[in-house]
Amino acid sequence: MNEIDTNGVQAESDSEKPKKPHKTKDSEFGLVKRELLHTLKLKHSQRKLIVSSIPLDSTEAELQNLFNTALETLYPGTPPISSVTLSEDKTHAILEFKTKDQLTNCLLLDGIEFRGRRLKLMKHKAYLSHRVMEMKKEIRDKEKQEKETEEIMNCTIFPNHDNRIFMGNLPTNLPEEDKVLES
């Protein structure tokens, strides 16, 4: 129902007010956490834990066996992990637990060693925040590198020849005479 305000203008009722913008959207990079959750298959994420720093040749069965054995040693009972899913690039795995308490108990195993590597355990929100920050850093680093390359290529210090070659990633401690070579 419309109401009339003090200026005599009809105002929309509370139910007709425009919706507020979505708070989880990252305006700088257009990332939406819901899309990341979907990508990481984190539906019902209260019972899921993300394991990173895993060896690339790990299997789901090995990880499930590792965590079930470790947790059953600390908390005897039925195996707590209902499923393990490896990411497509095999850089992380998602452990799904039967209860939230079992997930909390598993967080105590953060840093457990598996084939010479220390595994990192994170709840999904901590992982998303960490991953978004990594993605932003990667984008900034790439943009910085492209800008530096463009500046070097457009630089007027070097004579403009069609036969010149740019070599990047050289040590910064090179003497000046080694930086520019002419033939």
Give the pLDDT band of residue 150 (cuts 50, 70, 90): confident
pLDDT at 36: 55
Does residue 127 or residue 23 have the better pLDDT? 127
pLDDT in tens, 161-179: 666 677 777 788 877 777 6
pLDDT at 133: 74
pLDDT in tens, 30-56: 444 555 555 555 555 678 888 988 999
pLDDT at 113: 93
pLDDT in tens, 76-135: 888 889 889 888 888 888 888 888 888 888 888 999 999 999 999 988 765 566 667 777
Domains and their CATH numbers in the chain: 30-130 (3.30.70.330)
Q: Look at residue 144 and tell me whether its pLDDT is greater than 70.
A: yes
Spell out the residues 6+ positions from residue 37 whose beta carbon is closer than 8 angstroms to its own.
43, 45, 124, 128
Does residue 157 or residue 119 have the better pLDDT? 119
**Average of pLDDT values for 134-157?**
80
**Average of pLDDT values for 144-170?**
73
Q: What is the DSSP string of 19-33?
A: PPPPTTEETTTTEEH
pLDDT at 1: 47
pLDDT at 69: 92
pLDDT at 62: 94
Q: What is the DSSP string of the chain?
A: --EE-TTSPEEPPGGGSPPPPPTTEETTTTEEHHHHHHHTT-TTGGGEEEEES--TT--HHHHHHHHHHHHHHHS-SS--EEEEEE-TTSSEEEEEESSHHHHHHHHTTTT-EETTEE-EEEEHHHHHHHHHHHHHHHHHHHHHHHHHHHHHHT-SSS---TT-----S--TT--HHHH----
Does residue 22 or residue 60 have the better pLDDT? 60
pLDDT at 17: 52
CA neighbours closer than 13 Å in the CB half-sphere of residue 124: 20
pLDDT at 5: 47
